[in-house]
Amino acid sequence: MSEIKLKGYRRSDSLFGIRNHIVVMSSVSCANSVVERIAKTDSDIIQITHQHGCTHMGADTEQVLRTLSGTCNNPNVGGVLLVGLGCENVSVSDIASHVDHSGKIVKTLLIQEIGEIQKIMDAARDSIRQMKDFVLKQQRSNFDICHLTVGLECGGSDPFSGITANPAVGLVSDRLVELGATVILSEIPEMIGAEASLKSRIPDDTVRQRLLARIKDYVRFAKDAGCDLRGSNPSPGNIKAGLSSIEEKSLGSITKGGRSNIKEFVEYARRPKCKGLVVMDTPGNDPESVTGMVAGGANLVLFTTGTGTPLGNPVAPVIKISSNTGMYQRMSDFIDINAGEIIKGTRTDAVADEIFEFLLDVCNGRQTAAEVNNCREFAINRIGPSF
Amino acid sequence: MNQHRNLSDYAIILSGKDNVATALVDLSAGNYISSSGESRTTITVPEDISAGFKLALSDIRKAEPIYKYGYVIGLAKTDIKKGHCVHVHNLLSSV
């Protein structure tokens, strides 16, 4: 156990939320408008809608179910109302049966079963009242930082990302791992060309082979789509800014994972079994990748950016770290911490300390820029076509 | 301009194994001193290099690996002289 104690909402002995959100979630896109209407009745409610839940098959059905139930299982969620249509692939009862109800309240509502909109709104109002009663009774209690899960993401990289923001986050990652927390490195396509660095840090043969095979899959996806990675990645903008190869871009990207050994390779939206540094199978698409990590249990996400983005998540605070001062000044109310001053001589470990202190404050309730701006992107990674 | 400037004020070397440095600010042509432990070498940069771009810390021969972050980021397409800019014109990805 470490010296660092945080205050969170206890869901179980090893799961603590740093937020206590009430979520209204659609199980299928057909229920989205009703969910939006319910969410408009109360400003304390977090709305989650998406484009999935039906007319997909096999692995997609599993992945959508895992992502939706995983999001409900995220310890930052205290109450959830699942709204379904009634005839979809991914039913509200399927989702609810995959949610651990300990320390949280789960309600369901089926549009076809209730019938008319006013009756649906009345039922929703009842559920929301019960969820509020439950959630408001919960108090923050002390928990050790080893129970924290932190996701890592970068979006809109520039040549300074791999020199300023990512290495600073890498130091934070190493510190979290030393304290016993779980850190998730993601974005498999951003690992193409960095295999030598990654594999030297994966002691387990199976984990190493699975990760390397998955990186190869992405090289093949690009070829199958008729793209030459060498012609398209780094992008023309990356090249204009000084990045010369995909290896250089990927090696800069993975520095945010620090220097710890990689313990596990987990599927998209699945909760890691190991503490320490793990890799999740997510795409480079920022909302999809962050959604996957949060569904896998990430309490919060450290997000580095060179070009700037408003991106947040419905249930997990996203801490935005800029790689250059120019963008930070231009987009200051979207960014939490500027790592760009490392270029002018500020020490990387000083910025890492600033990020770490901010992270502790966010765990204890401080709002991130994305939360203040109500930026709450949610996107599920799809595998195959809709039918 | 025969003034010698410290390379570390203008560029960063990310690993001891690297044979390139990355400019942190726009770096004008001229002489720079690169220090590593006891050793000091003079690097003559023939052309201005923009922030974010790389320069060779030693002569790199055609087909030799180019290291940044301590790992190979590509192979030299041509002979690259110490101090010259290293980018897509003389570096080929090996992916």
Chain B residue closest to A246 (CA)? B93
Instruction: Give how far B95 is from chain A: nearest CA, Å.
Output: 6
Residue A231, pLDDT > 90, answer no
* Cβ contact, residue pair A255, B69, below 8 Å: yes
Q: How many domains does chain A have?
A: 2
Whether residue A387 lies inside any domain: the answer is no
CB-CB neighbors (< 8 A) of A242 in chain B: 22-23, 50-54, 87
Handedness of CA A263, A304, A63, A45 (dihedral sign): positive
Question: A248 vs B95: CB contact, 8 Å cut-off?
Answer: no
Q: Which position has the token pair 């560029």? A: B11
Say whether both A103 and A161 belong to one domain. no
Domain end marker among A137, A169, A196? A137
Q: Which of A82, A102, A137 is the last residue of a domain?
A: A137
**Residues near A206 by beta carbon (within 8 Å), at least 6 away in sequence:** none
Taking CA–CA distances from B89, the nearest residue in chain A reads A244
Pairing outcome for strands B91-92 and B71-76: antiparallel
Q: Which of A163, A197, A245 sits opposite B93 (nearest CB)?
A: A245
Residues present in chain B in total: 95
Nearest chain A alpha carbon to B68:
A248
Domain ranges in chain B are 4-92
Clarify whether residues A185 and A278 are in a common domain: yes
- The backbone torsions φ and ψ at residue A160, rounded to the nearest 5 degrees and listed phi first, read -90, -15
Query: Between B25, B87, B93, which is nearest A230 by CB?
Result: B93
Confidence of residue A116 (pLDDT cuts 50, 70, 90): very high
Do the Cβ atoms of A6 and A143 come closer than 8 Å?
Answer: yes
Subunit contact B95:A255, Cβ cutoff 8 A: no
Q: What share of chain A is helix, strand, coil (3-state, %, to 5)?
A: 45, 20, 40
Per the DSSP assignment, residues forming a β-bridge with A144 are A5
Contacts of A241 in chain B (CB under 8 A): 52
Nearest by Cα to A121 from A41, A191, A213: A41
Q: What percent of chain B has pLDDT over 70?
A: 98
> Does one domain contain both A174 and A66?
no
* pLDDT category of residue A227 using cuts at 50, 70 and 90: confident
B5-35 pLDDT per residue, tens: 999 999 999 999 999 999 998 999 999 999 8
Query: Smallest Cβ distance to B69: which of A230, A251, A344?
Result: A251
B9 compared with A371, residue with greater pLDDT: A371
Q: Exposed e or buried b for every residue in A189-226, given b needs 16+ CB within 10 A?
A: bbbbbbbebbeebbeeeebbebbbeebeebeeebeeee
Q: Are residues A330 and A193 in the same domain?
A: yes
| Cα A222 from chain centre | 24
Query: Looking at CA atoms only, how far is residue A71 from chain B in angstroms?
Result: 36
With cut-offs at 50, 70 and 90, classify the pLDDT of residue B2. low
- The alpha carbon of A63 is separated from its chain's Cα centroid by a whole number of angstroms, namely 15
Q: Would residue A131 count as lying in a domain?
A: yes
| A245:B70 CB<8 A | no
- Report the percentage of chain A scoring pLDDT > 90: 88
User: For residue A367, is pLDDT > 70?
Assistant: yes
Residue A178 structure tokens: 């030393």
Residues A179 and A316 in one domain: yes
Q: What is the rounded average pLDDT of the residues A315-333?
A: 97
Residue where a domain stops, chosen among A97, A114, A137:
A137
Measure the CA angle with vertex A15, ends A101 and A52; round to 5°. 55
| pLDDT score for A3 | 76
Q: Which of A192, A230, A251 sits opposite B68 (nearest CB)?
A: A251
Beta carbon pairs, A and B, within 8 Å: 75
Residues 167-206 of A with CB under 8 A from B: 192-194, 196-197
Pairing of strands A21-26, A182-185: unpaired
Per-residue tokens: A173: 């990652």
Instruction: Please give the average per-residue pLDDT across A109-125, as a whole number.
Output: 98
Indicate the range of A6-10, A90-94, A314-318, B9-13 predicted with least confidence: B9-13
CATH number of B4-92, picked from 2.30.130.110, 3.30.70.940, 1.20.1250.20, 3.30.470.20: 2.30.130.110
Q: Which residues of B lie closer than 8 Å to A, measured between beta carbons?
A: 12, 14, 22-25, 50-54, 68-74, 86-88, 91-95
**Same domain flag for A163 and A124:** no
Residue A1 has what pLDDT? 59
Q: Please name which of B59, B57, B48 lies closest in space to residue B25, comparing C-alpha atoms.
A: B48
> Within this chain, do residues A64 and A170 fall inside the same structural domain, yes or no?
no
User: Does residue A153 surpass a pLDDT of 60?
Assistant: yes
Q: Does A245 contact chain B (CB < 8 Å)?
A: yes
Tell whether the model's pLDDT for residue A179 goes beyond 90. Answer: yes
The string of pLDDT tens digits covering residues A24-80 is 999 999 999 999 999 999 999 999 999 999 999 899 999 999 999 999 999 999 999
C-alpha angle with apex A347: A342 to A351, nearest 5 degrees? 75
A168 and A271 belong to one structural domain: yes
Q: Are residues A65 and A88 in the same domain?
A: yes
How many CB atoms are located within 10 Å of the residue A48 CB? 25
Query: Which chain A residues touch B12 with a CB distance below 8 Å?
Result: 163
Helix (H, G, I), strand (E, B) or coil at A169: helix
Summarize the confidence of residues A297-324 as an average pLDDT: 97
Q: Are A233 and A291 contained in the same domain?
A: yes
Q: Do A151 and A120 share a structural domain?
A: no
Query: What letter does residue B40 receive in the DSSP assignment?
Result: E
A244 closest CB neighbour out of B24, B71, B91: B91
Q: Which domain covers residue A96, as residue numbers?
A: 21-137
Which strand ranges, in their side-by-side order, compose the sheet holding A5-12?
Answer: A15-17, A5-12, A141-144
- Which of A241, A246, A255 lies at the smallest CB-CB distance from B52? A241
Looking at the structure, tell me whether residues A36 and A157 fall in a common domain.
no
Nearest chain B CA: its distance from A58 CA (Å) = 33
- Judging contacts by C-beta atoms under 8 Å, the chain B residues touching residue A255 are 69
Tokens, residue A195? 């295999």
Q: Which residue has the tokens 């009745």?
A: A41
